[in-house]
Amino acid sequence: MNMKELRVKKPKELETLMHALTADLKSLRFQVASGQLKTVRDIRKKRKTIAQIKTLLKGDTREVKK
């Protein structure tokens, strides 16, 4: 997902998506450790998306506090 798609979503949807991506990331790490995963790029994509979601969520809380 890119930032444009993420900005459209509501904070609750972002949190749900972040939890799902975190669970996927955990399973990908186990697959790498066991030698089943061939493309490690998926881990990088999921980590990047999680970081983008956290950035958006943090930005939302700053706007509410003002």
At 15-31, the pLDDT tens digits run 999 999 999 999 999 99
Q: How confident is the model at residue 64 (pLDDT cuts 50, 70, 90)?
A: low
Phi, psi of 35 (to 5 degrees): 85, 15
Print the domain residue range for 53. Answer: 3-65
DSSP H/E element including 27: helix 11-34
Residue 62 has pLDDT above 80, yes or no: no
Report how many domains make up the chain.
Answer: 1
CATH of the domain at 38: 1.10.287
pLDDT at 9: 92
**Would you tell me how many other CB atoms lie within 10 Å of the CB of residue 16?**
12
